[in-house]
Chain A
Amino acid sequence: MEALFFWIFAIGMVGSALAVIFNRNPVACALCLVGTFVFLAALFITLEAFFLAAVQIIVYAGAVMVLFLFIIMLLDIKAEKKKPIPYGKIGLVIILSLIFGFFFNIVLNGLPNGQSILHWGTASTQDAKEIGMILFSKYILPFVVTGVLLLVATLGVVLLSKREV
């Protein structure tokens, strides 16, 4: 059953990711990206990372994509015009994919196959509590530094958005 869910979500995610890069209209791209994030959150649930699935939906599909759509509307971006196909770039993509596939093959062959079968329902369902406990004890310093990063990012955005400094 979990295999069926995995394949549904995987195919949906790859399909909407392909739609992101093949749509010419930026608004359609953004909506397909929302679909990709939702499918990715579903895959997180198949990996029993329930808290991260919720965070993925709230932060990415909620906040980040609204920001993207807001900027698209603000800048009034038109759909890209058709241009001659960039064969050089497509060749570069194919070559990089082959290199990537080569390394990927090495990684996959190095893994012990068959030992890593997913057993559904063995993880804790209280992962938000567990993550909170670890986040505020073992990872307290990175947590605080992330807070500083968010402050700096906020100040940077305000500074960049001012018309005259």
Chain B
Amino acid sequence: MNWLTEITLNHYLALSGILFMIGMAGVMIRRSILVIYMCLELMLNAANLALVAFNRFSPAARDYDGQIMVFFIITVAAAEVAVGLALIVSLYRLRQTTNVNDLNSLKF
């Protein structure tokens, strides 16, 4: 049971992959556009977890490049959430719905 007590980089990467797949499954199976947006946030955070883990386990332990990248990702994600939610609100004003199945006028 070595893998249970010795936490390696692979554990964190596997966890990050699981979180990313949960987010991706949520984007595909949910119909409310707001919940789809939350699942996008999950996928972003999965990437953040992988970056922090790589930074921690890198041989040059004293550089913080990975963490700074995560810092920028968090900033951009916050801006993205603000703009995206404004888009959702204006969409709701126009169509009175947040269900993606009803938003099909551009569907081929």
Contacts and interface: CB of A to CB of B under 8 A. Distances in A.
A72 B12 CA distance: 32
Interface string A88-99: 011011001100
Interface string A123-165: 1100100110011000100100010011001101100110100
Interface centre among B14, B21, B62 (most CB of A within 10 A): B21
B28 interface: yes
Contacts of A67: 81-82, 85
B57 interface: yes
B78 interface: yes
Contacts of B9: 111, 116
Interface in A1-52: 2-3, 6-7, 10, 13-14, 17-18, 20-21, 26, 29-30, 33, 36-37, 40, 43-44, 46-49, 51-52
A80 B32 contact: yes
B7 A77 contact: no
B38 A33 contact: yes
A117 B11 CA distance: 10
A13 B20 CA distance: 12
B56 A123 contact: yes
Size bracket, chain A contacts: 35 or more
Contact of A93 (B24, B53, B81): B24
Contacts of B4: 3, 7
Interface residues of A, dominant DSSP? helix
Contact of A113 (B8, B12, B18, B39): B8
Contacts of A55: 71, 74
Given A47-B52, A107-B13, A157 B8 contact: no
Nearest to A133: B64
B7 A93 contact: no
A60 B49 CA distance: 14
B71 to A, nearest CB: 7
22 contacts: A14-B19, A17-B22, A20-B26, A21-B35, A30-B38, A40-B48, A46-B7, A47-B55, A47-B56, A59-B78, A60-B45, A72-B34, A80-B30, A80-B31, A80-B32, A107-B13, A124-B62, A131-B68, A134-B68, A149-B79, A154-B82, A160-B83
Interface of B: 4-15, 17-26, 28-32, 34-35, 37-39, 41-42, 45, 48-49, 52-53, 55-57, 61-65, 67-68, 70-72, 74-83, 85-90, 92-93, 98-99
